[in-house]
Structure 1
């Protein structure tokens, strides 16, 4: 099978469309979650003492004046700095994203389970031949 033919089958099967929709949805969810973190979570952490995690760091070696931004502190000669703030922000974003995806998958699985239960509970329709014979019988009875 040629590569072009395989590609046409892949695109025609709907898998490519599903993949594209998934990528676009993930991008949109990522943007929404970043906004949620920046506008809702980080300000609430300000109540605990610090709202801007991006500039949170620990000086391991060197003399860095208090209040310096992380980028400025890293420019100081001889300073060894552990910048943990950005890691914390990414970790929180990832946890929220994973939880959101978990909730979506859970809702989809519940919907599929309900559909499967409804399909199993509904009696199977009689074969077409039996339906036709029943109609013929009813017509003959009515005459």
Structure 2
């Protein structure tokens, strides 16, 4: 059973998947930083200083000045946080689309490239094989 697990864990697909998950997690953190630290401040500046992270609708309790206090006071819809996550998702989806598009382009170029010519000795062996096949008929 241990040998079977070792074969399963060391298969190429399993290792590739693990590497993909690790890189994906790091990429997610990078995208989150880009959105929160670079894009959202610019959007806030363009829209007149609006801070998306503090946008909410308080459904219960007394009105509160911050999202944290509003959540402590009762039911709160934090739509600013949702907008930030939506922008994160769109950036990740766009980057993944561009990666897939690039991979497809490289694959098409590789498929379109002519096959390398066979070496002379292989061509001669192929001709001999064909001649012997004709003689046996």
- State the TM-score bracket (shorter-chain normalisation): 0.7 to 0.9
Q: 1:31 aligns with which of 7, 10, 29?
A: 29
Extract unaligned runs of 5+ from structure 2.
127-137
Cα deviation digits, residues 116-140 of structure 1 (max 9, x gap): 111xx2355267443479xxxxxxx
Paired residues of 1:53 and 1:88 also in contact (CA < 8 A): yes
Paired residues of 1:59 and 1:80 also in contact (CA < 8 A): yes
Match of 2:115 in 1: 122
Q: TM-score, length-normalised on structure 1?
A: 0.72
Match of 2:104 in 1: 109
Cα shift at 1:8:
2.7
Match of 1:91 in 2: 86
In 2, Cα distance between equivalents of 1:23 and 1:16: 11
- How big is the alpha-carbon RMSD for the aligned residues of Structure 1 and Structure 2? 2.7
Match of 2:20 in 1: 22
More helix by share: 2
Extract unaligned runs of 5+ from structure 1.
134-143
In 2, Cα distance between equivalents of 1:115 and 1:91: 36
How many residues are paired up? 126
In 1, Cα distance between equivalents of 2:36 and 2:103: 28
Q: TM-score, length-normalised on structure 2?
A: 0.75
